[in-house]
Structure 1
Amino acid sequence: MGNTHPGATSPLGMVSACAYSGAYPTGYGLYMKNTEGQPEEMFDRLQASGFTHFQQSGTGAIRKYYNYVRVTPMVQQLDVLGQAWPLHDETAEAGYYAATLDTGIRCEVTVGAKVAVHRYAFPEHRSARIVVDLSCGGLAIDLGRTVPLRAHVESLGNGRAQGTVVVEGVPLSVYIKVDSPGWRQMLWHDRRLIEGGTRLDFDRIRQTTLRPFGLLYMGPTTAGQSVEIQIGFSLRGCEQARENLYRECGDGAPAFDAVLARTKARWRDHVGRVEVEGGSPARRQVFATAVYHSLIKPCFADDESPFWPSSGPFVFDICTMWDIYKTQLPLLMAICPDRAVDLLESLIRVCEEEGNFPIGYRMARGADRFFRQASALVHTALADVHALGLGDLDWTWALVHMYDDLRRMYGEDFYEHGVVHPISHTLDLAYACHCTSGVARSLNDVQLADDLEARSRLWAGAFDPDTGLLVDSSFYEGGKWNYSFRLLHDMAARIAMVGGNEAFVSTLDAFFGYGAPRVAQPGKRPDPAEMAAGYLLNRFEGLNNEPDMEAPWSYHYAARPDRTAEIVHAALTWQFGTGRGGLPGNDDSGGLSSWYVWASLGLFPVAGQNLFLVNAPAFSRATLHLGDRDFVIETRGHRETSISSDGLEENPPPQYVQSAQLDGKPLDAAHLRATDVHAGGRLVLELGPHPSEWGRKILPPSVSDPSGKGART
């Protein structure tokens, strides 16, 4: 499963809203916590105890699952709050989610940038209720609950209320508006109504002392009567939450349709920045869904930082850079460049405030660094933005933080010893030195650039020259085979280390299983021995782990773009579908979906190197709308192929690039500069059913072979 959810979202917005079951991993769905093998079901039906806000998208064991401010429409007494009812007639569209509870209540939710609007159509009842639970957070699994530390709730009368809950050091404030004349408005605590009370204050809450609390709206309904509840959110207090609400919802009521229309328009605009022609209906649906998933996270909450007082971009749910820096951030740089720059400005501010660039950053106090995953990944994105000339970042300021960050965490040992374990961090830090060196040289800091360039060559110490693989070490979610085929800044030297192209391709072929039997997939609750046996196969895992996303493109550097074409074609054909479970692994905040977008276009960004690799696309024509410029990818001889969701009986063969032209001039290399793509233009690819010599004579640039015309053996 991809660990996504069907709830209402806004493009790169702050807020989401979805039905809440309490199941892993987003709060929606059926499953218990699972990181290996097939997931076990927590429930035997789709169900919900209400509708919550702020969900992760595509992540796994992220340790923070939000699901704050649960809103529950009821016709029962308050003491059954938390009971879950079956869901029927679900509908999910961009910016909209709806379902009918077993109680007969039709529930609809939509969101804006910083607001959520719920609309509930009740059956006839003398005492219908809308209950807001401000104590809700996390999942209904072991160690999955999130408990607020402090809270206050205030009933303002006339359907208005406000409150703040401090969760993991962040003050999440709400301003609530319900326009339903004749309904009563009350506070409640521990599932008991507080008659006449106007305020609840909790100075210190512990897991052992938490009792649920919140607001209740209650009154009679006629059959089909709709009641709307509007919620404004802020990380800077109730007054700003109120301003956010009225800015997006206005003074009147209802606002549901207007908010939904604006959010749908934003989604049409964002998803429309990548257009494709051709393809089967299933392939087009998967592609559009992939673009959509690529634009849900990170969450941009401009002027909302609770940690510094100034205005400007604040971004959370960067979960994590390890997931998104190779594929999703290059996509944002292409179609949402202003947001990509805002993201980096926010991360520079985090580094300034907290002392280092985070690997992951959530809505929580402190940079949740996810330090075991990787080191110094922000440097890669900064190098790309600098090469592309995007935005107006203060690069002298940025360089100071890039350089300082290289010596923190694992970087301290890297600077002292030239190698660090886990060994993949050696590759990260050497690559970050390469990226930072380029920025330093452009700013005429030659001494720093030379020093960093020398350190960037220390990647070689991570490899065993006898095997051509990484040395033995510990690895995050994988083994040395997974991590051994990264796209380094000196692939020419890395390939020469193993004896040249033929030896490198032979090792890659073994990794991808050419000529090997099928691998049996693990079932439910696989035991450690079964998983260990699987890892010992040293095989490609199928795009469900970050290092595997770039491995197919390593063939380009060994003069075998035909192999890349075969593997990417197989992945696009068999590993993605239109139904539930249509992703081959965690979507990882859109990192996997962004891979699908790039692969379908026949491009792959080599993050940090101002470089795209070129491959046979899945569509006959595609257009990237890059602001006021377009980059068009056209094909000749394209053959339409189906995907597994179309009901394939046989494996359709791949297509291979025979020749290429860029803006009317022959392109003999299987790569482009990213600056050329961003400048707009027209790439025409001649396709055929058999491998050709195209892309074999001029290889992608490496530090030791910048022309790509060095030794080929």
Structure 2
Amino acid sequence: MAILTQSHTSTRWSSHPALDEVDPFIGTAATDLPAPRGLAASWWWPKPQVGNTHPGATSPLGMVSACAYSGAYPTGYGKYGKNTQGVPEEIYDRLQASGFTHFQQSGTGMIRKYYNYVRVTPMIQPLDDLGESWALTDEEAHPGYYAATLDTGIRCEITVGEKVAVHRYTYPESRSARTVVDLSCGGLSIDRSRTVPLRAQVELIGRGQAQGTVVVEGVPLSFHLEVDTPGWRQMLWHDRRLIDGGTRLDFDSIRHTTLRPFGLVLIGPARAGQTVELRIGFSLRGPEQARENLNRECGTGLPAFDRVREATAERWADHLGRVRVEGGTPARRTVFGTALYHSLIKPCIADDESPFWPYGGPFAFDVCTMWDIYKTQLPLLEAIAPNRAVDLMESLIRVAEEEGNFPIGYRMARGADRFFRQGSALVHTALADIHALGLGDLDWSWALVHMDDDLRRQYGEDYFDKGVVHPISHTLDLAIAHHCTSRIAKALADDQLARNLAVRSGNWVNAFEPGTGLLQDSTFYEGGKWNYSFRLMHDMAARIRLAGGDAAFTGMLDAFFGHGAAPVRQPGLSPSPEEMAAGYALNRFEGLNNEPDMEVPWAYHWAGRPDRTAEVVHSALTWQFGTGPGGLPGNDDSGGLSSWYVWASLGLFPVAGQDLFLLHPPAFPHSVTQFSAGELTVETSGHTETPISSDGLDAEPPVQYLQSATLDGKPLDGPHIPAHVLHRGGRLHLHLGAEPSSWGGSARPPSLSD
């Protein structure tokens, strides 16, 4: 394994090809992609044109992240204000930081909980200047590592483990250098986005050691902190005033109006180039468990920074190495490697850390949200991190036990952010797929109890009584969830329940207008009736008949994807209501800028036109993703968008809840993916390398089409494979050509009424 030496320190760390192709800065800035050509030029992007990612240190699906903190929306990193549509507005004219915080969202939009707890600030200024922001320069980021220089001359490096963070600061010469820990920090530095602790306690427990608990959003976030600063004083502070001789602070109740910053500080002289290492263990079950977490991951030898960084880099190399591709331009490989990386940051899964139930096992948070991740990211975890996918489901079942229903979104906070406007009963699809794949050892009888009960809650009550609910998209959610639950009930020999659920799963037809093939007029969350009308249902054959047959359905899809349409103008900065209304009136595919229609390109498969799928996916992969901070077309949505890119590049697309994969031409000529039960090799013949927009395209590159396919040498009838078969691994050979083929036109993917 190659060893790289960073120019600004003597740090040595392991490199790996999978790590070298990750750029954590992709998605951190407003979208900056070349103007698309061809089909993609007709797509309209209404949602924020910014990835909302951050480049901070993370561990695969780990509990802790850490990054520079400016207070910008929504991760705390960057320079943008709140944004819900169009180009985001800058609130700062530079990249800056007032310190380095822990626990960040990843690529989300408006999710209410903004984290950024325990701010650590290296300073050579007085404590009164705490909260001032300094310009960031010389940023560097790799999986598990983030570094930058403040314009005070302090070089700042951070790495994280699964439950720990380690900071290393290299100071210029100073008579009075400081490392300040602000335990009152939380949220964002914009209106109504600050998080104020409810209660807090912190104590000094010896030289270079402190511990405490800060209750934020109803969660007791505990820490154990160690720092090695010989000769430096260690003191508590409150309201920017030092507490000489004090060893403990207690706050029984804190309000926005009574909050005064508090924390601890280390003060002493620094010679030029002197480093200070600060280690923090976190837990949601008290300071003692936080200390155990710190000792387990950092060990007893000092310093620990390089050891933790190396261990996290190895974890990233392991996870990223589970998908390997060959070929592609350097730009395409960087976008792919980064997409895979972004797909594995969230959800956070912490073993034995739930603050809400006393027993052990996984506690998952930052499910932000099921709407964002259930179609693409959860199937990816089921494939390459199956144990963690099962842990996520186990945790959500426990949430249902404790709180009465499955959440749509779940944060590290008391009470689920349910996001019921987004969707209903989406956990059911992942549970159905995990059951079909035979993953893990979940108690399926107990899971079925909660799946069935959950179908009758919220919108499910009206669905049960009336067979249709509004917003009308929830009717489709609940119909699919009934189908998924029916499959599990049948497998568990509860035939009566299975029959009842199967009957109600057919209520999806009530959502559509007779004769138009579109959904009824209704309210729609972040979209319109066209965006929601092409959902991949469990009975697509009946769905296409309802629309008037193959030709009519294909014609609707062609109009939706803008075949033959003129290029459109994207929303700019602060778009007017009239501009947005005109865009929605196009009834057009929203590219990969929105969740409701990200699966729609594969609807063509059921109409016998997989060639159309190839054209749409090819155009999206070519024009909607690129290198650089502006390389994403919209919010990464906790990895949901990046997971779409991974699947689309591999030539595979999972259909959530249906034990099904659909095939299309891959972007790479060869790939190897470690699925749950075996290694799948996808190889091609007739593949032609094509560039992407970041390669300097000025025209649409040619599309490739599937001509035929074999799995382990046996011909496939059409471009679809049961997921449980694909998960066994094997050798999938895809024959590609420059012209559409009749192959796949008659052998349609399965439908319930076939």
Q: 2:584 is aligned with what amino acid?
A: Y
Q: Where do 1:309-708 residues align within 5 Å?
A: 309-626=358-675, 629-705=678-754
Deviation at 1:667, TM superposition (A): 1.1
- Of 116, 135, 146, 1:86 maps to 135
Equivalent residues of 2:173, 2:273 under 8 A apart: yes
Deviations 1:330-349 (A, max 9, x none): 00000000000000000001
Q: Secondary structure of the residue that 2:597 maps to in structure 1?
A: helix
Is the counterpart of residue 66 in structure 1 residue 115 in structure 2? yes
**Equivalence for 2:293:** 244
Q: 2:619 is aligned with what amino acid?
A: A
Deviation at 1:635, TM superposition (A): 0.2
Aligned mates of 1:671, 1:626 — CA distance in 2: 17
Deviation at 1:189, TM superposition (A): 0.6
* Inter-CA distance 259–680: structure 2 relative to 1 (3 Å threshold): same
Structure 1, 619-628 or 265-274: larger mean CA deviation: 619-628
Deviation at 1:489, TM superposition (A): 0.2
**Equivalence for 1:710:** none
Deviations 1:466-496 (A, max 9, x none): 2110000011100111000110000000100
Deviations 1:578-618 (A, max 9, x none): 11121111111100000000000000000101000000000
Instruction: Please tell me the root mean square deviation across aligned C-alpha atoms, in Å.
Output: 0.7
Unaligned runs of 5+ in 1: 706-713
* Inter-CA distance 628–441: structure 2 relative to 1 (3 Å threshold): closer
**Equivalence for 2:5:** none
Deviation at 1:627, TM superposition (A): 5.2
Equivalent residues of 2:214, 2:220 under 8 A apart: yes
Equivalent residues of 1:157, 1:185 under 8 A apart: no
Equivalent residues of 1:127, 1:219 under 8 A apart: yes
Aligned mates of 1:195, 1:688 — CA distance in 2: 76
Is the counterpart of residue 298 in structure 1 residue 347 in structure 2? yes
Is the counterpart of residue 146 in structure 1 residue 195 in structure 2? yes
Aligned mates of 2:302, 2:130 — CA distance in 1: 27
Aligned mates of 1:173, 1:164 — CA distance in 2: 4
Q: 2:598 is aligned with what amino acid?
A: M
Is the counterpart of residue 216 in structure 1 residue 265 in structure 2? yes
**Equivalence for 2:166:** 117
Q: 1:47 is aligned with what amino acid?
A: Q
Deviation at 1:571, TM superposition (A): 0.3
Structure 1, 462-471 or 10-19: larger mean CA deviation: 462-471
Deviation at 1:669, TM superposition (A): 0.7
Q: Secondary structure of the residue that 1:154 maps to in structure 2?
A: strand
Deviation at 1:522, TM superposition (A): 1.1
Q: 1:213 is aligned with what amino acid?
A: F
Deviations 1:115-148 (A, max 9, x none): 0000000001111000000000010111111110
Deviation at 1:626, TM superposition (A): 2.5
Deviation at 1:650, TM superposition (A): 1.5
Q: Secondary structure of the residue that 1:403 maps to in structure 2?
A: helix
Q: Secondary structure of the residue that 2:111 maps to in structure 1?
A: coil
Q: 1:20 is aligned with what amino acid?
A: Y
Is the counterpart of residue 284 in structure 1 residue 284 in structure 2? no
Q: 1:520 is aligned with what amino acid?
A: R
Equivalent residues of 1:72, 1:132 under 8 A apart: yes
Q: Where do 1:121-140 residues align within 5 Å?
A: 121-140=170-189
Q: Secondary structure of the residue that 1:531 maps to in structure 2?
A: helix
**Equivalence for 1:711:** none
Deviation at 1:628, TM superposition (A): 6.2
Equivalent residues of 2:180, 2:263 under 8 A apart: yes
Aligned mates of 1:222, 1:137 — CA distance in 2: 32
Q: 1:359 is aligned with what amino acid?
A: I
Q: Secondary structure of the residue that 1:427 maps to in structure 2?
A: helix
Aligned mates of 1:653, 1:509 — CA distance in 2: 19
- Of 71, 82, 85, 1:22 maps to 71
Deviation at 1:525, TM superposition (A): 0.8
Equivalent residues of 1:176, 1:229 under 8 A apart: yes
Aligned mates of 2:451, 2:717 — CA distance in 1: 36
**RCO higher in structure (CA 8 A, sep ≥6):** 2
Deviation at 1:659, TM superposition (A): 1.1
Q: Secondary structure of the residue that 2:351 maps to in structure 1?
A: coil
Aligned mates of 2:746, 2:555 — CA distance in 1: 19
Deviation at 1:45, TM superposition (A): 0.5
Unaligned runs of 5+ in 2: 1-49
Deviations 1:228-265 (A, max 9, x none): 00000000011111111111111232100000000000
Compute the TM-score of the two structures, normalised by the length of structure 1. Answer: 0.98
Q: 1:330 is aligned with what amino acid?
A: P
**Equivalence for 1:13:** 62
Q: Secondary structure of the residue that 2:189 maps to in structure 1?
A: coil
Q: 1:471 is aligned with what amino acid?
A: Q
Q: 1:493 is aligned with what amino acid?
A: A
Equivalent residues of 2:104, 2:116 under 8 A apart: yes
Aligned mates of 1:388, 1:377 — CA distance in 2: 18
Q: 1:470 is aligned with what amino acid?
A: L
Q: 1:383 is aligned with what amino acid?
A: A
Give the 4+ runs in structure 1 shifted more than 4 A.
none
Q: Secondary structure of the residue that 1:686 maps to in structure 2?
A: strand
* Inter-CA distance 504–622: structure 2 relative to 1 (3 Å threshold): same
Deviation at 1:35, TM superposition (A): 0.7
Aligned mates of 1:236, 1:370 — CA distance in 2: 27
**Equivalence for 1:54:** 103
Aligned mates of 2:286, 2:543 — CA distance in 1: 53
Q: 2:387 is aligned with what amino acid?
A: D
Equivalent residues of 2:676, 2:727 under 8 A apart: no
Aligned mates of 2:666, 2:382 — CA distance in 1: 21
Q: 2:409 is aligned with what amino acid?
A: G
Aligned mates of 1:629, 1:548 — CA distance in 2: 31
Deviation at 1:576, TM superposition (A): 0.3
Aligned mates of 1:188, 1:251 — CA distance in 2: 28
Q: Secondary structure of the residue that 1:217 maps to in structure 2?
A: strand
Q: 1:278 is aligned with what amino acid?
A: G
Aligned mates of 2:396, 2:581 — CA distance in 1: 37
Aligned mates of 1:129, 1:654 — CA distance in 2: 58
Q: 1:414 is aligned with what amino acid?
A: Y
Q: 1:604 is aligned with what amino acid?
A: F
Q: Identity of aligned pairs, percent?
A: 75
Q: 2:262 is aligned with what amino acid?
A: F
- Of 260, 272, 275, 1:226 maps to 275
Deviations 1:81-126 (A, max 9, x none): 0000000100000000000000000000000000000000000111
Aligned mates of 1:56, 1:39 — CA distance in 2: 17
Is the counterpart of residue 168 in structure 1 residue 192 in structure 2? no
Deviations 1:376-399 (A, max 9, x none): 011100000000000011110110
Q: Secondary structure of the residue that 1:265 maps to in structure 2?
A: helix
